[in-house]
Chain A
Amino acid sequence: MIQLVFSIFLGAGLIALLYLFWMRERARPEGGAEALLNAQNALNKLKGGLLPTALIARVFAQDDLRFVATHSTLEVQKAFRKERKRLALFWIGQVRSQIVSLRKFHLGKSRFYARLSFATELRLAAAFSLLLGECRILQAMIYLRGPYAFPGFVGRTITGAARVCGVSERSIAYMSLSSSKIPGSGGTENQAAL
Chain B
Amino acid sequence: MSALTIWWIGICLESVVIAQGIRAKVFTKYPVFFAYLAFVLASEVSRYAIYERVRPLYRGWWWTTEFIGVLLGYLLIMNVLEKVLTAYPGARKFARNIGMFIFAGIVLFTSAEWLFQRQISPALTSIEVGRNLRSAEALLLSALLLVIAYYGVRIGRNMTGIIAGYGMYIALEVIMYACRALFGQSFQSSFSRVRSYSYLVALVVWLAALWSYSPVVQPEPPLQLESDYQAFADSTRERIDAMRSYLGRPGKR
**A residues within 8 Å of B by Cβ?**
1, 3-4, 6-8, 10-15, 17-18, 20-22, 24-25, 28, 30-32, 34-35, 38, 50, 95, 98-99, 102, 104, 106-118, 120-121, 123-125, 127-128, 131, 134-135, 138, 150, 153, 156-157, 159-161, 163-164, 167-168, 170-171, 174-175, 178, 181-184
Contacts and interface: CB of A to CB of B under 8 A. Distances in A.
Contacts of A125: 150
Interface residues of A: mostly helix, strand, loop or mixed?
helix
A160 B145 contact: no
Contacts, number: 223
Q: A13, A17, A31, A174: which has the most chain B beta carbons within 10 Å?
A: A17
B233 interface: yes
Contacts of A183: 219-220, 222-223
B105 interface: no
Given A4-B179, A25-B160, 6 more contacts: A3-B182, A10-B135, A31-B217, A102-B240, A178-B228, A181-B224
B93 A98 contact: no
Given A21-B145, A102-B236, A156-B249, A181 B163 contact: no
Interface residues of B, number: 71
26 contacts: A4-B178, A7-B135, A10-B174, A28-B154, A34-B154, A35-B219, A107-B150, A110-B232, A113-B225, A114-B90, A116-B94, A117-B233, A131-B240, A134-B244, A138-B248, A160-B246, A160-B247, A160-B248, A160-B250, A168-B239, A174-B231, A181-B223, A181-B225, A182-B225, A183-B223, A184-B219
B90 A22 contact: no
Interface string B140-184: 011001101111111101001001100110111111011101100
A160 B242 contact: yes
Contact of A20 (B149, B160, B223): B149
B232 A15 contact: no
Contact of B149 (A24, A30, A135, A184): A24
A99 B177 CA distance: 42
Contacts of B220: 183-184
Q: Which 3 A-B pairs have the closest CB atoms?
A: A160-B245, A7-B178, A116-B90
B213 interface: no
Contacts of A32: 217, 219
A182 B229 CA distance: 13
Contacts of B122: none
A75 B192 CA distance: 69
A13 B152 CA distance: 20
A161 B244 CA distance: 10
A114 B85 CA distance: 11
A164 B131 contact: no
A95 B247 contact: yes
A27 B248 CA distance: 37
A99 B178 CA distance: 41
B235 interface: yes
A118 B93 contact: yes
Nearest to B179: A4
B5 interface: no
A129 to B, nearest CB: 11
A21 B246 contact: no
Contacts of B241: 167
Contact of B247 (A8, A31, A138, A171): A138
Contacts of B236: 102, 106, 124, 171
Contact of B248 (A6, A116, A156): A156
B233 A110 contact: yes
A15 B231 CA distance: 38
Nearest to A178: B232
A15 to B, nearest CB: 5
